[in-house]
Amino acid sequence: MSKNYEKLKLNYKIWVETDSHVSILGEGKWKLLKAIKETGSLKAAVESMGLTYRQTWTKLKNIEEKLGFPIIEKTRGGSEGGQTTLTPQGEKIVEFFDKVYHEFEPSVKSIFQELLDELNSIHKPK
């Protein structure tokens, strides 16, 4: 057996897709929407995440097109500058992923760990 044995671990991603398996959004866009909600600004949100404004704007518009409804709403300039907020549907998406990552994920990790402990017991390094 190899001396370089490393304990196995399981990794996964959660995303929402259509019936025809077209990916709509996942953890990254959830984090982006949360950042928009917190900052009130798409520009500030993308900067805090190290993303580019133009590509992110295009991706958000593509998500809205796939969903069939807006998830962000921009208000232009004025003396205090523009603002970006989440629509009620955008808020629901954030709530959905909040629940997935705070309620569902711990249960999944626990089950995964039990199964992995079983798998890792196949080979115990000496």
Q: Which domains does the chain possess?
A: 22-120 (1.10.10.10)
Q: What is the chain's Cα-based Rg? A: 20
Strands (E), 11-75: 15-17, 23-26, 72-75
Lowest-confidence range among 4-18, 35-49, 65-79? 4-18
Residue 112 has pLDDT above 50, yes or no: yes
pLDDT of residue 42: 93
pLDDT of residue 1: 47
Residues 6+ apart with CB under 8 A from 63: 24, 25, 29, 71
Rounded Cα distance, 42 and 33, in Å: 9
Q: Identify the helix (H) or strand (E) that includes residue 83.
A: strand 83-86
Work out the number of other CB atoms within 10 angstroms of the CB of residue 119: 13
What would the pLDDT profile of 45-102 be if each residue is shown by its tens digit? 999 999 999 999 999 999 999 999 999 999 886 556 679 999 999 999 999 999 988 8
How much is the mean pLDDT over the chain? 86
**Entry pTM:** 0.78
Rounded Cα distance, 44 and 74, in Å: 13
Give residue 31's pLDDT band: very low, low, confident or very high (50, 70, 90): very high
